Structure 1
């Protein structure tokens, strides 16, 4: 039933508001018009009856035994008649001469004055007041026979033929139509920005996201809507641009090992006598392993970018760093750890281990003699700094290394089979934990700093001069002995 009632309304908001406001205005003005009709009719009738009663009373007062003066009209009251008890007209004013009695009302003795309106076909309507002569006058003048004085006038034209109702109804309809038209016009001007936004949005396609909707001036709802739409379009354009760039880069990165794998297999098929099958299989396995690494990293990156929430739990960063170092090969560059106690964050253990593995593996790969890892707090933040003593990263490349598939020349030389996604995944994980991952200045080598919010702020001590840059509070709490892996 509700759906059927709603379906009767127009689909356009402009038409709906016009219909609703016009209907409400019509009802409101109809009530006012009816009240005005009642008040005007009552006021006119009261004035006519008052004048008729005064004129009739004056005529009755001028009567005397044996002397009944001819009635004289007063103002608009021009119809006067003296009627006996049998309904005969005894005397009348010039305008009422030859007419039948103005009415048939015979007031009783206890209510001698009454008002009435009589309408006759073709003769219009007459408003009158009838007065029953007092008993004394009746006895002295007419020998006890009851007589009645009728005093009235033709009904005013404003009341005749429902003219007042017609005028009021016409005024109500015109006023309602004017209000509805005004609402339609104002609604059209108000919705003009929306129509422009809709037209522009209809022209925007996936192949061209550079168009923007027109922004009205000021801070109206339409202006805010247009700005929000343009901001959304800008983000969408940037996301599509990144997606296309990512798809192009991904296809290139996947095409390289696939081309190498196909070349090895075709060579083995075309020249079976010149190619060692075992070596071909080993090369194919190496290329397949690289493909598998790239695909796995892409899946991880896709899950992180999709915003799927991961299960979080309290994680002791110092313990996590030691566990990550313990899983590394023992024949690599030694790692020195300085960890402050009670550094607990709320995060996903598996994802944080992946970040630490990437940072430690990169640091070991580029270090000449050692890697330093510090774990501490800075205000309400937990900070993990991984520093190597290698050649470092040029300032202009410090942000590029976090882009997907970006591998510097030194990285390609030291690890030819890498996917180039490790640091991009690590930064996404840091952002997913409301943290940051960045490259900071270091006297020598590269310094990666992981910054995460502490789960329990506790009491942080002021930094001391012996603390490494970016990590505060090591001098105030008992510090675990430095150890090497």
Structure 2
């Protein structure tokens, strides 16, 4: 409306200026013709008119009408204007009360003092004397603004209808029911992309909530079992004090407490993994593995072959947790020794921990990474375990954009951790032995083995 108003004002002023200029030009042409005729003395008493300039008069120095057209008075001059000798052509609009204004052109015949004046004029056009032009322009502006407003209302309403549908559907979604999805409007515009993104977010949220519920249910079950056993033992000791050995009861209660403590500690680790947002740091994976093997308590020899210079980026404490879980697991199931290798495979660093124990059945290779899953052999070798160690380790590997799985081995179990290598300005990894390798002994294949005592 503002733009159209500015255009309307400009149009109104332009039309008024054009009409006024054209009217004065017509009066000037007629006045110039009769001025030349008057100087030549060939002016009739009743001067013919040249419509629309039908008011023509010639007056003398005393402003008396000498000659006039039929429409003009032959007694009263059209104006009292008398142009000076140095400005013989002058324009004027003469208005009288109760009468229509006249647009006049006055031309002094000669510069002499007794020279007459020629008046030529026409009634002011109605477009100038009334406000019809302004009314017409204002009406056009109102019509255009109304049409634009209606079109805008219709287009915006059609555009926002999918938004209202999305809003209504989102208002129906609750934590108890995340299966609903927002409607996707046709096309590939921003609203369609927004709906697709919202549905993807809802799908991820539904999956996360489902996992949280399953985890809470499983955790409750795992915690209930040792708590129920502990309660039963304590109630039995109180009910039958003469039949129950208190030392045996306390020893059994401590075993159940250890089990609960292990579960709670691993649950805290899982919570920290989800909550932590520490920036990654550059880590030499070979050095880290060698240092962790050196600090690890062991009952069997642990042989390390590590390639130095394999730089990754991640959380040192989380990766130590993974290595600790893998090394403890290998020590628990090995019969004579544990082999640890750190090598490069394309753009990945590969840590393999191999024991010579009974191994893992192929049917259980994925199942052992589920939370609270413990095979019979694991329960026998470590009754106080929580069943969360390998699940935590895989979560850490995934958080570092890597993988952790059980791969084929000639004997025993082979756990393989793969992590993406960080970009190094020095080029490919340095094949020299890692500084942390202990008691290096050269092998025929050029690798390095660190033998950690039995």
**TM-score grouping bracket, smaller chain normalisation:** 0.7 to 0.9
Query: 5+ unaligned residues in a row in structure 1: which ranges?
Result: 1-25, 137-143, 463-473
Matching residue within 360, 363, 367 for 2:330: 363
Q: How big is the alpha-carbon RMSD for the aligned residues of Structure 1 and Structure 2?
A: 3.0
SS at structure 2 position matched to 1:96: coil
Q: How far is the alpha carbon of 1:305 from its aligned partner? A: 1.6
Unaligned runs of 5+ in 2: 432-442
Counterpart in the other structure of 1:110: 86
For residues 219-271 of structure 1, what are the alpha-carbon distances to aligned partners after superposition, in whole Å with 9 as ceiling and x for unaligned? Answer: 32222211111111111111111111111111111111111111112112222
Cα gap change, 1:439 to 1:44, in 2 (>3 Å):
same
Q: How many residues are matched? A: 440
C-alpha distance in 2 between matches for 1:67 and 1:375: 123
Q: Residues 357-404 of structure 1, C-alpha deviation per residue, up to 9 Å, x if partnerless? A: 211222233345543322322234322211233443333432222222
SS at match of 2:448: coil
Aligned to 2:124: 155
1:122 to 98, 101, 104: 98
* Closer/same/farther in 2, CA of residues 400 and 102 from structure 1, 3 Å limit: farther
Are residues 1:205 and 2:171 paired? Answer: no
Partner of 1:34: 9
* Per-residue deviation, 1:426: 1.1
Match of 2:254 among 281, 285, 307: 285
Instruction: Name the structure 2 match of 1:445.
Output: 412
Contact map agreement 2:278 2:315 (CA 8 A) in 1: no
Contact (CA 8 Å) 2:110, 2:116: kept in 1 or not?
Answer: no
Structure 1 consecutive aligned stretches of length 4 or more whose deviation exceeds 6 Å = none
Give 1:174 shift. 3.3
Cα separation, partners in 2 of 1:98 and 1:246, compared to 1, 3 Å: farther
1:251 and 2:220 matched = yes
Aligned match of 1:428: 395
Is contact 2:286-2:307 (8 Å) kept?
no
Query: Greater CA deviation, 393-402 or 283-292?
Result: 393-402
Asked if 1:294 is matched to 2:263, the reply is yes
TM-score (norm 1): 0.81
Give 1:305's aligned residue: 274
Correspondence list, 1:10-409, <5 A: 26-63=1-38, 68-97=44-73, 100-134=76-110, 145-309=114-278, 312=281, 314-315=283-284, 317=286, 320-321=289-290, 323-324=292-293, 327-330=296-299, 333-343=300-310, 345-409=312-376
Classify the secondary structure of the residue corresponding to 1:352.
helix
Could you tell me how far apart the structure 2 residues matched to 1:325 and 1:227 are? 51
More divergent stretch after superposition (94-103 vs 400-409): 94-103
Q: Distance in 2 between matches of 1:357 and 1:167?
A: 89
Q: Distance in 2 between matches of 1:36 and 1:98?
A: 40
Does structure 1 retain, via aligned residues, the 8 Å contact 2:309–2:430? no
Shift of 1:460: 5.6
Gap change, CA 1:109 and 1:323, over 3 Å in 2: closer
**Contact 1:312-1:347 within 8 A present in 2 as well:** yes
Task: Kindly indicate whether the alpha-carbon contact (under 8 Å) linking 1:434 and 1:453 is maintained by their aligned counterparts in 2.
Answer: yes
Q: Rate the CA distance shift 1:214–1:444 in 2: closer, same or farther, 3 A.
A: same
Q: How has the CA–CA distance of structure 1 residues 286 and 158 changed in structure 2, closer, same or farther, with 3 Å as cutoff?
A: same
Secondary structure at 1:237 match in 2: helix
The answer on whether the counterparts of 2:223 and 2:260 sit within 8 Å (CA) in structure 1 is yes
Q: Supply the distance in 1 between the matched residues of 2:81 and 2:57 (Cα, whole angstroms).
A: 13
After superposing the two structures, state which structure 1 stretch, 475-484 or 390-399, moved more: 475-484
Measure, in 2, the Cα distance between the counterparts of 1:115 and 1:186: 54
Distance 1:458 1:81, change over 3 A: closer
For the 8 Å contact 1:324–1:353, the answer to whether it is kept is no
Identify if the C-alpha distance between structure 1 residues 228 and 347 changes in structure 2 by more than 3 Å, giving closer, same or farther: closer
8 A contact 1:311–1:347 mirrored in 2: yes
User: Could you say what secondary structure the match of 1:193 adopts?
Assistant: helix
Q: CA deviation at 1:29?
A: 3.0
Cα distance change, pair 222–100 in 1 and its aligned pair in 2 (3 A): farther
TM-score (norm 2): 0.86
CA-CA distance at 1:406 after TM superposition? 2.0
Stretch deviating more after TM superposition (151-160 or 301-310): 301-310
Indicate the residue corresponding to 1:466 in structure 2: none
Provide the C-alpha distance between the structure 2 equivalents of 1:67 and 1:405, rounded to a whole number of angstroms.
125
